[in-house]
Structure 1
Amino acid sequence: MRVGGLCLVLLVLLAGAGLTALYIKFDRNISQIDIDGALGHDRPADSPNGSMDILVLGSDSRAGTDGEYGRHSGARADTAMIVHLNEARDAATVVSIPRDTLVERPSCGGEPARKRTMFNEAYSVGGPVCAVKTVEKLTGVRMDHYLEVDFEGFSRLVDTLGGVEVTTTQAIRDEDSELDLAAGTHTLDGEQSLALVRTRKALSDGSDLGRIRLQHSFVRALARQVGGIGLFTDPRRLYDIADTATRSVTTDSGLGSAADLAGLARTLKGIDPESMTMLTMPVTFDPKDPNRVVAIERQATQVWSALRADRPVPGSATEGSAAEPRPSEREVIARE
């Protein structure tokens, strides 16, 4: 019995050592930035209601910072979403910020503050820290965490998942990305998925606002795909996805470990895709430059106030926004 007990203890220790080794490997994969340390105390107050707000960026770079503000010369952040998880962790609100939105960027990375500049310029000037600082100034909502996914990693992750099934309601042809999809059901690989979420010219209005609506539909399809995999019955696949995911992200220090990311994944797993409210910050076309948009202040304030109070965003907040589809428009990706 003693020998048996010692063997059991040894097996547990070895298993624990193996898991620890995996966590150490995955931890080393993750690129992280101390955003709290860089921004200090000059930030919006954190909501006391237990909700969580995460700034998620899609970028074409995963380079770290150069100095305090992580200058990203030439890098772009074309996709920006604030993911709000409610206190009960059974629902999420995702608010996209159009990259072409004219905002007031605070001073970052040694650069002075600037008015009427494109939102995604903040990332180019000062990397993740400046992006968070700009979002907090725009919204008055404190970002609890930051998560950046580079485009190459996004493509690899979709391939590791086995592709994403979508049903397109119309043909999509983009000469720039060589994306060519007929109307119907497709299982997209990583390269096709990346081309789809980045396409603009293939859409009816050719705008960034149309692309954001397409991204929202794709995110729902991706969430359904991940939820139906059954990862824990396939350890090898679980390992491959964990390895790919941790090599594809840059996070704030609070999410800078495999254990932290696993905890976030478990939280997201409990949210049904149909419990995700997805919208775009209410905007109108800028009177001085029709290629840019500006926030509709009164309605945008409704959105940010709802997030701070952990309440659903009222429907009136998005009425009349240029980001909302016209009655004649239908979703490019059908809901299943």
Structure 2
Amino acid sequence: MSAESTPVPGTPPEPGPGGPRHRAPGRRRAPRGKRRKGLLITAWAAAGVVALGGTGVGYVYFKLNGNIKSVDINQALGGHRPLDVDNGSQDILVLGSDTRSGTNKKLGGGTDDGSARSDTAMVVHVYKGHKKASVVSIPRDTLVDRPSCTDGEGVTHDAASQVMFNSAYSTGGAACAVKTVESMSGIRMDHYIEVDFSGFEKLVDDLGGVDITTTKDISDPDSHLKLKAGSHTLDGKQALGLVRTRHGVGDGSDLGRIQLQQAFIKALVDQVKDLGVLTNPKKLFDVADTATKSVTTDSDLGSVKELASFAGGLKGISSSKMRMVTMPVAYDSANANRVLVEKTKAEQVWTALKDDRPIPESATEGTATGEAKGVVSSG
């Protein structure tokens, strides 16, 4: 979908913030088949490189503007949502999608049936002043109560109890994913950003790779990743393997994969800030072109101008100002491939974000982790 408004050709985006807020423990059995895992680029990493592309001439602006796909979340969900509190903070749902068609068929496995999964989800809370952020990963295998929702074709799906979190997206698309997160957290999502498999791989290549250091060997035949302990510059294929690897580290659970993703995101955020692509016009365009083709946003961010303005409010947040946690969960003793929400601790997380406060350490103490923390760090 193209942008909703068209500025004068060659007009650079206006800087500034994004505007007002409108199992028993142990190793787990392998999943069935060779399903590829989701991926994530943080909101500001994806949007930040897009922002660079908004400063070009008219042709570049319209080319990038036409790349962006958007979804009208507000219209889809109507008025039955948490209170929209305008206190200067922002909450963004960021999803990594695995669409089973086109280029993603090869990357995601399975058949070319056009179906889609969202195997990775994070709630990004940007604090008032936009100088720091908390990021809460929601494990795809978490059993949740999914509310009724209407998909993009207008079909309404009944509510369901104790189903996998990522079934929300596969059932009703972006709007259903947002509604499920809002139902779980009691927090209204101000924005939605989705990044797909093939775009992620190409974006890393356009950036020239991402530097990371591994403290242990990683070998996972499912994600086709083999890395010796040490420093590496990952190309797109390797980066994709890292963020979807599951059996090469930790206890083999999805939680360990999340810890790898969080470490990779921090490395990516720092590297994007230091690239200096403004001095290389071709690299600038390639990065911005790939980024805009790779994202789907809510309609409020559905143009280069709006996405760039949003990114401008996030560019001051370095990895050292990001607190990354996983929503508190426990292994499901009845099913080794599922986790259950630790409701009391999860409520501490959501309440802190509602109040624009730091997440307390007690909220994540003693919860399931996946045992992969510290395996990957910035290169």
TM-score normalized with structure 1 length: 0.89
Please report how far the alpha carbon of residue 80 of structure 1 lies from its aligned counterpart in structure 2 after TM superposition.
0.3
Instruction: Tell me the equivalent position of 1:9.
Output: none
Q: Which residue of structure 2 aligns with residue 68 of structure 1?
A: none
By how many angstroms is 1:272 displaced?
A: 1.5
Q: Deviations over 1:78-122 (max 9, x none)?
A: 110001111110001100000000000011232210000000001
Q: Which residue of 2 aligns with 1:253?
A: 299
- Aligned ranges for residues 41-60 of structure 1 at < 5 Å? 41-60=79-98
What is residue 265 of structure 1 aligned with on the other side? 311
Q: Output the CA distance in 2 between the equivalents of 1:217 and 1:90.
A: 20
Q: Which residue of 2 aligns with 1:308?
A: 354
2:376 paired residue among 327, 333, 336: 333
* SS of residue paired to 2:257: helix
Q: Give the Cα–Cα distance (whole angstroms) in 2 for the partners of residues 14 and 268 of structure 1.
A: 25
Contact residue 194 and residue 296 of structure 2 kept, 8 A? yes
Q: In 1, distance between residues paired with 2:354 and 2:296?
A: 25
Show CA shifts across 1:55-86 (max 9, x none): 000011298xxxxxxxx973110110001111
Q: Secondary structure at the match of 2:365?
A: coil
Structure 1 residue 262 displacement after superposition: 1.3
Alignment partner for residue 24 of structure 1, among 38, 62, 66?
A: 62
How far has the Cα of 1:324 moved from its partner?
A: 6.8
What is residue 33 of structure 1 aligned with on the other side?
71
Match of 2:145 in 1: 104
Q: Do 1:62 and 1:249's aligned partners in 2 also have CA atoms closer than 8 Å?
A: no
Partner of 2:166: 120
SS in structure 2 at match of 1:291: coil
Residues 108 and 166 (structure 1 numbering): CA distance in 2 closer, same or farther, change over 3 Å?
A: same
CA contact (8 A) 1:141 1:308 kept: yes
Whether the 8 Å contact between 1:62 and 1:250 is mirrored in structure 2 is no
Q: SS of the residue aligned with 2:65?
A: helix
The letter for the 1-side match of 2:144 is V
The SS at the match of 1:269 is: coil
Preserved CA contact (<8 Å) 1:148 1:250: yes
- Which structure has the greater CA radius of gyration? 1
Residue 270 of structure 2 corresponds to residue 224 of structure 1: yes
Q: Does 1:236 align with 2:277?
A: no
Q: Which runs of 5+ in 1 are unaligned?
A: 1-12, 64-71
2:117 matched to 1:80?
Answer: no
Percent identity among equivalent residues?
56
CA RMSD of aligned residues (A): 1.9
**Structure with the larger RCO, 1 or 2 (CA within 8 Å, 6+ apart):** 2
Preserved contact between residue 62 and residue 150 of structure 1 (Cα < 8 Å) = no
* 1:287 to partner: Cα distance: 3.5
Q: Structure 1: which amino acid aligns with 2:193?
A: L
Residue 111 to residue 15, structure 1, CA distance change in 2 (3 Å): closer
Contact 2:331 2:368 in 1 (8 A): yes
Q: Is the 8 A contact 2:264 2:377 kept in 1?
A: no
Asked if the contact 2:96/2:121 (under 8 Å) is kept, the reply is yes
- Structure 2 counterpart of 1:206: 252
Change (3 A) 1:290 1:331: same
Task: Using the TM superposition, name which of 88-97 and 288-297 deviates more.
Answer: 288-297
Matched, 1:132 2:178: yes
2:99 to 46, 52, 61: 61
Taking the aligned partners of 2:79 and 2:122, their CA distance within structure 1 comes to 23
Q: Does the residue aligned with 2:149 lie in a helix, a strand or coil?
A: coil
Alignment of 1:4-19 (within 5 A): 16=11, 19=57
Relative to structure 1, is the Cα distance of residues 15 and 144 closer, same or farther in structure 2, using a 3 angstrom cutoff? closer
Query: Offset of 1:204 from its aligned partner?
Result: 2.7
Distance in 2 of aligned mates of 1:183 and 1:83: 30
Q: Could you tell me whether the CA contact under 8 Å between 1:53 and 1:84 is conserved in 2? A: yes
C-alpha displacement at 1:19, in angstroms? Answer: 2.8
Going by fraction, where is helix more abundant, 1 or 2? 1
Q: 1:76 to 1:16 in 2, by over 3 A?
A: closer
Greater Cα offset, 193-202 or 174-183: 174-183
Question: Which residue number corresponds to residue 32 of structure 2?
Answer: none
Moved more, 92-101 or 105-114: 105-114
Q: What's the counterpart of residue 3 of structure 1?
A: none
Q: Is the 8 A contact 1:35 1:129 kept in 2?
A: yes
For residues 232 and 239 of structure 2, the distance between their equivalents in structure 1, rounded to whole angstroms, comes to 11
Partner of 1:150: 196
2:83 maps to a residue whose letter is A
Whole-angstrom CA distance in 1 between matches of 2:99 and 2:69 = 12
**What's the TM-score, normalizing by structure 2?**
0.79
| Equivalent residue letter for 1:192 | Q
CA contact under 8 A between 2:193 and 2:298: conserved in structure 1? yes
Q: Which amino acid aligns with 2:231?
A: T
Deviations 1:170-191 (A, max 9, x none): 1111112221111110100001
Does the residue aligned with 2:313 lie in a helix, a strand or coil? helix
Asked if the contact 1:62/1:149 (under 8 Å) is kept, the reply is: no
